[in-house]
Amino acid sequence: MKILSLDTSTPRGSVALLEGRVLTAELRVLSLETHSARLLSSVDVLLRNAGWNLADLGLVVAGIGPGSFTGIRIGVATAMGLAQTLSIPFAGISNLDALAHQAAGIDGRIGVVMDAQRSQLYFSEYLSNHGKIRHLGKPKLMYPSDLRRYLRGSRLYLIGDGVVRYAHELKLPSAGWPRLVEVDLFLAAALGRLALGCKRSWRSGEFLQSEPLYIRPPDALGQKARR
């Protein structure tokens, strides 16, 4: 199956083409600006360079966050629009899950730490056992100081850009636990591979819907609540 996978939920935007689990082509952009202006042109460039047509695609995948409200909406709306136009399935996949599966070769507890901006972090914990990953509780929005207290003495493998950005605040030990593990932070290819093995996430039909993983409520909801 030929897969188009998009991730615009964070500044690390990426578009990937996969044939099964094999990465055929990929484009990565690190930018604080919205990815909307270049997303469709990036898809077109990748397809042409891979010698593929839109009609060749069998699945379109998008990262559903957490991350930027606008970024998530752009990626998901674009992916669903393409899936509907082509009459093929769409899959929305959690970026936290995709990061956790990047460390599937590790046995033990994995803590995914994403930069949530505004001096906060998204944190989600998983258990990895012989390549199988499962959640350990719901993802949370935390301050680095709160996460530091939670992590103290825990036997966790930590992954994600939040660990790097807030390394000073988290005060991770140079040896012992918790341990930092480096993984690929551009997630389009990882999202596509995860979707391929998770058919229950596929959605088809004329009226596609996807529930974004915001964790932090959109600013519009906060402003409405304060009125």
* Domains of the chain (ranges, CATH numbers): 2-94+186-226 (3.30.420.40), 104-180 (3.30.420.40)
Instruction: Encode the chain (227 residues) as per-residue pLDDT tens digits.
Output: 999 999 999 999 999 999 999 999 999 998 877 667 789 999 999 999 999 999 999 999 999 999 999 999 999 999 999 999 999 999 999 999 999 999 989 999 999 999 999 999 999 999 999 889 999 999 999 999 999 999 998 999 999 999 999 999 999 888 889 999 999 999 999 999 999 999 999 999 877 778 888 888 765 444 444 44
**How many whole angstroms separate alpha carbon 222 and alpha carbon 4?**
34
**How many whole angstroms separate alpha carbon 152 and alpha carbon 155?**
9
Cis peptide upstream of residue 212 (ω within 30 degrees of 0) = no
3-state secondary structure of 15: strand
Residue owning tokens 């042409």: 48
Question: What global pTM score does this model have?
Answer: 0.92
